Structure 1
Amino acid sequence: MTPLHIGFVGVGRMGANMARRLKEQGYALTAFYDSHHPAALSLASELQAQAAHTPAEVAKASGIVITVVSDDAAMRSIFAENDGTSLLAHAQDRLFINCATLSPEIHVDIERLVAARGGASLEACMASSIAQARQGTLYLMCGGKPEVFEKAKPLLGALGKTVRYIGPAGEAAKVKALVNMVMNSNTAALAEGLGLGDALGLDLTMLREVFSQTGAASRVLETDGEDMQQRAHDCYFSAAHAAKDSAIALDLAAHAGLHLPVAQATLTQYRRLVELGKGELDKSAVAELTFKERSA
């Protein structure tokens, strides 16, 4: 094992494509773990690495471990204290780069736990999607100790077009939560605009073009507008993750003493999608709640 031997914990859509990117860039990949073991088996076979049965096996084989898990509970599980199967079993001299959108306090706790065992950790929050992970053009917002960021920066440069240091542990997670809160609100607003346009009998292709040339323009219009019109909701960023991330931002708002009614309404919409069994559709599926004939 050398410092540039890299393992992954969490090889879903994002993690797997990040691993493929690093393999193409000549990095040595050691082991993959995923709670859905067939995903780890498949990627390990593809990239000639080990399919690990525990996070600890990944840390043992790797100098750097990149984690891309789904939520706070999953993160606490893979960094569980007093658990011989967790990443902490082999934290000494390791660098953990944690890429999931999580509550800021989780990143603070992980940094403390890892440091107590002689390792280092960095949050590298991603404001991009699957295609960017595959192409190495992620937008990465990083939080942690500056010296740890500098150590990780060359590797992060192979994954991201923009690699930005935000501040101490937890700070990048705050920024990422706000990015996703605004993105989700924009998505829900676009769905309402297109849904109302449809109910009024307007040509939606024309309407999207007008939106793009006026104050209604947005990045979400570019990525989701046509999908909403065509009901094409293949998942790039799931409705369930949209709900999770908006909830993180609203928790931060509550602690700051702020009421954010637009963000709260957006969260309600995404939670409705999840309750309807559509949580694994793309966030563009929020349009299914706003087009008259669809919501019925």
Structure 2
Amino acid sequence: MSNVAVIGLGIMGLPMAINLVKAGHTVTGFNRSQDKIDKLVSEGGKGATSIADAVKDADVVITMVPDSPDVEGVVSGPDGVFANAKKGALWIDASSIRPDVAKRLSDQATAAGIRPLDAPVSGGEQGAIDAVLSIMVGGDAADFEAAQPVLNAVGKTIVHVGPSGSGQTVKAANQLIVAVNIEVLGEAIAFLEAYGVDTDAALKVLGGGLAGSKVLEQKGQKMLDRNFDPGFRLALHHKDLGIVTSAAREANVAVPLGAVVAQLVAATVNQGDGGLDHSGLFKQVLQLSGRK
């Protein structure tokens, strides 16, 4: 088993760290808020007083923070991961960031003697709790193999998708698909409700056919209940759609549906709902339809 440092103990990072403890790894966590560190300690992990303290003895360092600048902030500088992790350590960035930033940081990690993998995840909070995340991994194939014991402790579908930056590119595509699915599911539910259909029954039969999806399975009931407690916040999906639309423009790829949904997500966030689960995009659908 490995000594693993986890930097970022939020909605996703904390359950991932706890599952690593359950798998038998020695896990040291660091977070800006002490209560998350205390929770990890109560589950058998260790707490650190700084990033440097967390990574000094780590065989594997996992970062799980919100955005590209946050990743740069925790890995760079004299107090960051690159300056304090031991040579040969694996760095697994599970955050969702820009592919070009992932590639640049991987080059910096390699120069510092650290083995980088970009390994963003999909599955939301429940997937992290249940250790069934889908993990798309970019980086060297040998480093991917070396990371298997750690990745297997937090995920179920774990695929090496190419060189550094590839994991983040696949994650951007994932977020495009999920956002469009959430939007169209919300439109379908608003449509069903307008006609007074038994929506529970409708979603059951829709879920058994070609319209079935993980989005319908996990988000349909939340929309029916108007329960948007965050498993993955709209503000983060807004960030991810910005990555998608920017990267698509650079590659001269048209994403017309993605662009429309990106604007609807942006409007929802700008109206003060960024802290809601991304299924809260349904609120925008209802507002556009004059419904509640």
Pairwise TM-score range, normalised by the shorter structure: over 0.9
Residue 76 of structure 1 corresponds to which residue in structure 2? 72
SS at match of 2:173: helix
Distance apart, 1:175 and its partner CA: 0.8
Q: Tell me if 1:66 matches 2:62.
A: yes
Aligned Cα RMSD in Å?
Answer: 1.9
- In structure 2, the residue matched to 1:260 is 255
Q: How does 1:244-283 map to 2 (within 5 A)?
A: 244-283=239-278
Which residue is equivalent to 2:124? 129
Q: Do the aligned partners of 2:88 and 2:115 also contact (CA within 8 Å) in 1?
A: yes
Which of 175-184 and 216-225 deviates more?
216-225
Give the aligned residue type for 2:141: P
The amino acid of 1:206's aligned partner reads A
Distance in 1 (CA, whole Å) between partners of 2:219 and 2:143 is: 36
Give 1:38's aligned residue.
35
CA shift, 1:45, in A, is: 4.4
Secondary structure of the residue that 2:24 maps to in structure 1? Answer: coil
Shift of 1:140: 1.2
Distance 2:61 2:43 in 1: 19
CA distance in structure 2 between the aligned counterparts of 1:215 and 1:79, rounded to whole angstroms: 44
Match of 1:56 among 52, 55, 78: 52
Partner of 1:234: 229
Query: TM-score scaled to structure 1, two decimals?
Result: 0.91
- How far, CA to CA, are the matches of 2:168 and 2:7 in structure 1? 19
Aligned pairs, number: 290
Change (3 A) 1:48 1:163: closer
TM-score by length of 2: 0.93
Please list every run of 5 or more consecutive structure 1 residues that lacks an aligned counterpart in the other structure: none
The equivalent of 2:103 in structure 1 is 108
- Tell me: CA distance 1:161–1:46, structure 2 relative to 1, closer, same or farther (3 Å): closer
- Work out the CA distance in 2 between the residues paired with 1:286 and 1:294: 15
Verify: 1:6 aligned to 2:4, yes or no.
yes
Indicate conservation of the 8 Å contact 1:107/1:169, yes or no.
yes
Aligned to 2:238: 243
Distance apart, 1:167 and its partner CA: 0.7
From 280, 284, 292, give the equivalent of 1:289. 284
Q: Percent identity?
A: 27
In the aligned structure 1, how far is the partner of 2:211 from the partner of 2:19?
35
2:161 is equivalent to residue 163 of structure 1: no
Can you list the C-alpha shifts for 1:40-67, whole angstroms capped at 9, x where unaligned? Answer: 2432344341232x32221213221111
Can you give the 5+ residue segments of structure 2 that lack an aligned partner in the other structure?
A: none
Distance 2:130 2:256 in 1: 37
Aligned ranges 1:189-204 → 2 under 5 Å? 189-204=184-199
Kept in 2: contact 1:289–1:295 (CA 8 A): no
